[in-house]
Structure 1
């Protein structure tokens, strides 16, 4: 098998790439990595010394590809399928790329700040940083609720790279910072994401690891079973 994906099944950025792979039924070998274990991390560091996952290795082309958006771009270029996650038309492609970055940077990053702060040792918490992250999510949710009015997917009528980014970032963000009751467009979009087969599969595979999530007690019961 040409493709190997180095990942952790609880990592939201890994979920983003898994969704893209499953959308187009791309065959790959998953390798679960524990970056805290030097022997486990060695394979990733050999491919990408920055030590971040996911990393995709393509044995057929002798190339390792880091960074989620670049991995999805690479898959479309060399392992395309019926779902064009990056639209061919220029304006549509720019829109998809914009909201891909928005979900990573304006939803995923503050969500991770809130989550990882709970893992800090006693006395090392960053209350100001966490409060800023919650405010950032308020702004992001409001913008998304406006963006999603009258749209099925984040960038328009078609499922794109933006939705691959949206599903995991919103999944975890909604646990630590729920949507406001009036944000009906955002809530409806989230339900459409949860109904997507590629997203359902990714979450189902992550379920055995949910006990490791620092806000496990806040996770809705419906996420714990089919």
Structure 2
């Protein structure tokens, strides 16, 4: 039975799961939650996507989906290496998810609130923490290649959507040339470029207004 991935083309965490599927050439069926919302709701334990279904087995959370794919549907790429390199990949995966992507969603969510329930302080705190994450990454990412050496890993799968959208919320800026260059390399990766193009028709969904770039 073909794998099924439930998600949305504009969703950052859906990108994170799509990138390894495409890069490995793994056969799967993409089911947009806009067309398959009822099925998704019945399957999802927390109502969040992406969600992978493998012959009745439901796998939630993007990082776990990638690890599941490596274990049960391996392809040419090794998304989580063994040893200390694997620990570094997992660590950076958490940094990009929790310190970049999750912080970038705060200003986005804030603008969706009713005017009398918005939180300017929370917005600014999130942006401050996002800039702190940028500064740390600028000092700790390699000057070239990928997040952990020469191999594109789960860390890069997390970094691509996180840095793509976070830069829309809070610009990385020319003062962080290493991080900016890394973002550009990510966007040039074939699987990431495919995710960007697939999401392009949905840019009007971005509540802060999608910039006329990327």
With the length of structure 2 as denominator, give the TM-score of the two structures. Answer: 0.95
Alpha-carbon offset, residue 155 of structure 1: 1.9
Q: What is aligned with 2:7?
A: 7
**Runs of at least 4 residues of structure 1 off by over 2 A?**
39-42
Matched, 1:173 2:166: yes
Matched, 1:21 2:21: yes
With the length of structure 1 as denominator, give the TM-score of the two structures. Answer: 0.90
Q: What is aligned with 1:216?
A: 209
Q: What is aligned with 2:181?
A: 188
Q: What is aligned with 2:101?
A: 108
Q: Contact (CA 8 Å) 1:19, 1:198: kept in 2 or not?
A: yes
Cα distance in 1 for partners of 2:33, 2:135 equals 35
RMSD: 1.4
1:58 to 43, 46, 54: 54
Structure 1: runs of 5 or more not aligned: none
Alpha-carbon offset, residue 151 of structure 1: 4.2
Report matched runs for 1:43-54 at 5 Å.
Answer: 43-54=39-50
Q: Contact (CA 8 Å) 1:147, 1:154: kept in 2 or not?
A: no
Cα distance in 1 for partners of 2:23, 2:113 equals 36
Alpha-carbon offset, residue 7 of structure 1: 0.3
Alpha-carbon offset, residue 48 of structure 1: 2.1
Cα distance in 2 for partners of 1:40, 1:16 equals 20
Task: Report the count of equivalent residues.
Answer: 214
Matched, 1:75 2:64: no
Q: Contact (CA 8 Å) 1:154, 1:163: kept in 2 or not?
A: yes
Alpha-carbon offset, residue 40 of structure 1: 4.5
